[in-house]
Amino acid sequence: MTGCDMIANLTRLPREQEYESFRIKRVFVGEKPRVLAFIRENFSEGWVNEAECALLQHKCFVAVKDGRILGFACYDATAKGYFGPIGVLEETRGQGVGTALLLRTLTCMREEGYGYAIIGWVDDAEQFYRKTVNAEWIPGGEPENTVYSNLIDL
């Protein structure tokens, strides 16, 4: 199954860990141009739009090392209760950056009162979400049956 939504139970999240090689921080609105440029250069314009929405709500995080952005994660951008988008530079994958961003973001969602998070339009990251937070496919979670059905070019 690809391109479908998954769901994660926020009451059963693994504990967040500290990483010495990078840190996770909530994006400050004054960093908006730099963060959006990072997303535009490394990912997609659609993700820029979603991240901007999340950033303006203070619901966007970045992983940074020595002043360099390594990745980002957002929530409540696509719709309320949705996690994502998330993106990590290819050369830093496998170093815990994605896991740290995912857990920090989902922990914040739990602290805000969410019981579950919908992980939207998952493709090749299925095993990452299953392994990290025990996410499962949502029956009928194909884009044409979800909030994505409102996209003009779906």
Residue 85: pLDDT band (50, 70, 90) is very high
Q: Which domain holds residue 46?
A: 4-150
Residues 58, 76: contact at Cβ < 8 Å? no
Question: Looking at the predicted structure, is the pLDDT value of residue 146 above 90?
Answer: no
The pair phi, psi for residue 6, each rounded to 5°, is: -120, 165
d(CA 70, CA 65): 7
Q: What is the DSSP letter of 14?
A: P
pLDDT per position as a tens digit, 16-30:
988 889 999 999 999
Count of domains for the chain:
1
CATH at 114 = 3.40.630.30
Tokens 């690809």 appear where? 2
pLDDT given at position 68: 97
Tokens 């044409």 appear where? 144
Task: Report which of 85, 81, 88 is spatially closest to residue 60, judged by C-alpha positions.
Answer: 85
d(CA 116, CA 10): 5
Residue 154: pLDDT band (50, 70, 90) is low
d(CA 154, CA 94): 32
